[in-house]
Amino acid sequence: MQCDICYRTGGYKLPFLCPVDARNELYPARIRNAQILLENDSLQQEINDLVSKPQGDGSKTTPHKPVSRYDIDSASSDRLIAVDRTEQIIIKADELRAKIEKAREEVAKKKASIARRKSELASATNGIEARRSRQIEEVEKSIRMTKYKWNKLQGTFASSRTYLCGEAAKLYGLRRRRSAGQEEYQIGRVGIVDLRALNSKFILPTASPAQISTALSHVVHLLMLCMHYLAIRLPAEIILPQPEQPLPTIYPLLASYVHRPQTSSNTSGQNSSSLTGSRHEQPTQPRARPLHITKPLPILYNEDPVAYSLFIEGVVLLAYNIAWVCRSQGADIGEEGNLDDVCDIGKNLYALLLAPKPRSQPSSRVSSNNSTPSKTSNRTTDNEEKKFATEPLMGRYSHGTTTNSLNSAEGTEFIKSWKLTSPRHLTDTLKALLTNEVANKEWEIVDENAWRVNDELGVDGVVIGATKEGSNMPAHLAMQQSFMSCRTVVDAVEVGGRVDEPKIPGTSGWTKLKPR
């Protein structure tokens, strides 16, 4: 029969889930018990009839078979089997009742647990919106306070970096002088060379290869010190003087900041023999570009074109580094893609470190009263962020901080917005400019006072006392000599006036054109 609770048809193979299923499970056993009882009653009735029948009755009766001992034993055994089965059914019924009671207890416990959890949930959700909004406000306030402190510390770091860079530039003697309507930049009382005038056509007349190398060395040391203060990694790696290489060198952009073996041939960059040797010994190792020369560029161009090209590439990479730093720190360098603005190293370095800009003294600590925004800090924080955004860029962007990092996505987009010309293009343009100057210089520049020294000129127009001529010549005219005549006296007198050295006969003197 079908259960009224679970709506299942009963069966002995199905587990019971309710009292009706248990009752259905007991029905077959009850029916069999009833059948056995009925059979027992019928047998008992037959026995009684046989026993109660009189012996001497002569009436006609139906003949009966005599009851044997086997029949009695069989009936007794059937009765015992029925009793045993009844007991088993009763035991199973008791077990089912116990299971049902246990299941009811578990259901009651689950109902109580569910009710308790519902009450706890109701008490927990009571006022949850207010608590959630309050917690969100506290977190937002903490975030605003942290951003405010970060901005304050970032401003302090920027001012400290700017102050340190400015003081380092002053200690190195970086300054600007105006003479004859032109600006001259010096570092350590040595003039900083404009790369367009490396042929000594527009730079100071007293500049010599040694002075050019000294100025570049000072610029490199000051630049690396300021990059240490600003925590900036230059695009072109600069190698400071080392025991095996006493002068600074620089690597191209693609060869910078890569692992390389420390060998002397890897850092040498002046002698053509060493350059050739390093090229054959380690063809895969990049060569460092020198930032020093020992001869004037026209002479170096004729004698060692490889060293000439490496030096031009090195100074262009140095100028590119300075322009890159100026652009990252918000210093004005004019047009980013203009060769004249990029190659003016002294002007760009002065604009980066000492140009007039709002720069405050660094404070030792941030005041606690000024480090926390007010309660209505949404508008205050926005105003502070706008204020920090309008401050100068000097010292803000670097590779050593998480805020305003040049390594972040914001810094990458900031770098992509620049329009700096590639160093390769700048190198080619500068080489073409300097080569054209050397090729087009056919006549030497002679001061009018030189014509008065006619008593020292021979008939063939050759000065007999070259040492005297070089020592008496004014300092501002020494670098204006023609490079055609300079090559004849480079072993005797250094351009710009050197100490006298032993002269080889036939090499002393210089050629001067006589007036027609």
Q: Helices 209-230 and 128-171: crossing angle, nearest 10°? A: 160
In 126-182, where does DSSP find H-type helix? 128-171
The conformation of residue 512, written as its DSSP 8-state character, comes to -
Does residue 380 sit in helix, strand or coil? helix
In which band, very low, low, confident or very high, does the pLDDT at 343 lie, cut at 50, 70 and 90?
confident
Strand 182-187, strand 190-191: pairing: antiparallel
- Percent of the chain scoring above 70 in pLDDT: 66
Supply φ then ψ for residue 187, to 5 degrees: -140, 120
Measured distance CA(447)–CA(480) in Å, rounded: 9
Supply φ then ψ for residue 6, to 5 degrees: -100, -5
249-250 sheet: strands from edge to edge? 238-239, 249-250, 289-290
DSSP E strand boundaries for 13-110: none
Measured distance CA(58)–CA(120) in Å, rounded: 93
Measured distance CA(291)–CA(277) in Å, rounded: 20
Residue closest to 289 by CA, chosen among 305, 304, 308: 308
Q: What is the pLDDT of residues 88-121, one digit of tens each?
A: 999 999 999 999 999 999 999 999 999 999 999 9
Q: What is the reported pTM?
A: 0.57
Positive or negative: CA dihedral 227, 228, 230, 232: positive
Q: In the prediction, which pLDDT does 299 show?
A: 86
Q: What is the pLDDT of residues 481-508, one digit of tens each?
A: 333 333 333 333 333 334 344 445 554 4
Residue closest to 254 by CA, chosen among 291, 281, 286: 286
The one-letter amino acid at 332 = D
184-198, 265-279, 303-317: range with lowest mean pLDDT = 265-279
Q: What is the pLDDT of residues 40-57, one digit of tens each?
A: 999 998 888 888 766 555
End-to-end distance of the chain based on CA atoms, in angstroms?
A: 144
